């Protein structure tokens, strides 16, 4: 029998780096506060574009060794965030990165986009019933911005939440567990636009500036259910982003992906609540666990 902390947070992401870009400050905050933070990453990100020229040989059309390299980047990022429980869906490399929507890689039989939904979700059911999280964080139904692996991660996370709660589903995977609150990542348009205004004023070194419309999960302010103030964890988030060096270039409070278009590095992180009730207190909520924090520790495992 293992004892886990009273507060347990599960995040489901598509590729190494998505967790830090979307939720790095949230993960650092809850880890620092003693919550159990579990990250499940669905692919190794084998199809990512490589930024540093000296690492270009890792690319899928050359050595095709970007996946194992990104496993190490993710481990380094998690060390920066203080997160010790990070896993890959099924096993490392079980599902391959599907590449951007419309590419031939989408049709590879081993890619995540082609995965059987219930089979993929079953791997996650085992994690849910083991960790018994009160809170799940994943993407919206468009995966934030339409990448097939993000859409699939959304589907797998939502399906696993349902299956994990169903006492008739695979009792061998543990006692059923209902996740109290499910959040989807989002970005309020007002915050993003203010961030881009800072970026234009700063005049930085990237090749250009992204547009707000390129960012995932843009919503109106009224749709934001929770805002996590990660400002005390800005340094941790920035360091974790730097750890994903094949994918992210960081310049102070800004960063760019492989398109070399600058965007603001946000340390306040935003969520829509799609299952469960908001906790008592202020709106938007400032604590993902508001209203669902369980008493004491959980006894998990056999
Ligand atoms: Zn991704």
The three state secondary structure string of the chain is CEEECCCEEEEEECCCCHHHHHHHHHHHHHHHCCCEEEEEECCCCCCCCCCCHHHHHHCCCCCCCHHHHHHHHHHHHHHHHCCCEEEECCCCCCCECCCCCCCHHHHCCCEHHHCCHHHHHHHHHHHHHHHCCCEEEECCCCCCCCCHHHHHHHHHHHHHHHHHHCCCCCHHHCCCCCCCEEEEEEEEHHHHHHHHHHHHHHCCCCCEECCHHHCCCEECHHHCCEEEECHHHHHHHHHHHHHCCCCCEEECCEEECCCCEEEECCCEEEEEEEECCCCCCCCCECCCCCCCCCCCCEEECC
Q: What is the pLDDT of residue 189?
A: 96
Q: What pLDDT is stored for residue 225 in this prediction?
A: 98
Cα of 1 to ligand 1 centre, how many Å?
A: 35
Tell me the pTM.
0.96
User: Residue 1: its pLDDT value, please?
Assistant: 55
Identify the band that residue 302 occupies on the pLDDT scale cut at 50, 70 and 90: very low
For the annotated binding site, the residues are: 15, 18, 150
Distance 54 CA to ligand 1 centre (A): 22
pLDDT for 281: 87
Across residues 254-270, what is the average pLDDT? 96
Binding residues for Zn(2+) are: 15, 18, 150
Distance 301 CA to ligand 1 centre (A): 31
If you measure from the C-alpha of residue 15 to the centroid of ligand 1, how many angstroms do you get, rounded to a whole number?
5
> With 90 as the cut, is the pLDDT of residue 46 above it?
yes
Distance 45 CA to ligand 1 centre (A): 7
pLDDT digits (tens, 9 = 90+) for 130-164: 999 999 999 999 998 899 999 999 999 999 999 99
Quote the pLDDT of residue 213. 85
What mean pLDDT comes out for the span 71-85?
98
Per-residue pLDDT at 297: 60
* pLDDT given for residue 298 in this prediction: 63
Given pLDDT bands bounded at 50, 70 and 90, which one contains residue 294? Answer: low
Q: How far is the CA of 97 from the centre of ligand 1 (A)?
A: 9
Measure 151 CA to ligand 1 centroid, in angstroms. 10
pLDDT of residue 295: 54
For the residues 213-235, what does the mean pLDDT come to? 95
Q: Is the pLDDT of residue 276 over 80?
A: yes
* Mean pLDDT computed over every residue of the chain: 95
- List, as ranges, residues with CB under 5 A of the ion ligand 1: 14-15, 18
pLDDT exceeds cutoff 90 at 301: no
Q: Does pLDDT of 296 surpass 70?
A: no
Q: What is the mean pLDDT of residues 22-51?
A: 98
How far apart are alpha carbons 42 and 88 in whole angstroms? Answer: 6
- Determine the distance separating the centroid of ligand 1 and the alpha carbon of 295, expressed in angstroms: 35
Share of the chain above pLDDT 70, in %: 97
Mean pLDDT computed over 197-208:
90
CA–centroid distance, residue 17 to ligand 1 (Å): 7
The CA 168 to ligand 1 mean position distance, Å, reads 33
């Amino acid at each position: 029998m293992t004892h886990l902390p009273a507060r347990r947070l599960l995040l489901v992401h598509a590729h190494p780096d998505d967790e830090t870009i979307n939720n790095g400050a949230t993960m650092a905050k809850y880890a620092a506060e003693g919550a159990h933070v579990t990250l499940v990453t669905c692919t190794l990100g084998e199809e990512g574009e490589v930024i540093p020229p000296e690492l270009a040989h890792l690319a899928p059309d050359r050595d095709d060794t970007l996946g194992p390299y990104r496993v190490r980047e993710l481990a380094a990022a998690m060390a920066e965030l203080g997160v010790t429980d990070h896993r890959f869906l099924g096993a490392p490399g079980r599902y391959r990165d599907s590449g951007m929507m419309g590419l031939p890689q989408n049709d590879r039989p081993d890619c995540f986009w082609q995965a059987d939904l219930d089979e993929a979700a079953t791997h996650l059911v085992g994690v849910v019933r083991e960790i018994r999280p009160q809170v799940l964080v994943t993407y919206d139904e468009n995966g934030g911005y339409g990448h097939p692996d993000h859409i699939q991660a959304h589907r797998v996370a939502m399906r696993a939440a349902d299956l994990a709660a169903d006492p008739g589903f695979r009792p061998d995977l543990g006692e059923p567990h209902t996740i109290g609150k499910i959040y989807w990542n989002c970005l309020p348009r007002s915050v993003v636009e203010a961030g881009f205004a800072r970026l234009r004023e700063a005049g930085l070194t990237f090749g250009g500036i992204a547009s707000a419309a390129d960012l995932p999960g843009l919503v109106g302010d009224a749709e934001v259910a929770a805002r996590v103030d990660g400002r005390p964890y800005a340094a941790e988030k920035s360091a974790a982003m730097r750890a994903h060096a094949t994918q992210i270039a960081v310049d102070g409070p800004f960063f760019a992906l492989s398109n070399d278009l600058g965007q603001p590095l946000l340390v306040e992180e935003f969520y829509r609540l799609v299952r469960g009730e908001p906790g008592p207190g202020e709106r938007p909520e400032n604590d993902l666990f508001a209203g669902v924090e369980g008493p004491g520790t959980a006894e998990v495992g056999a």
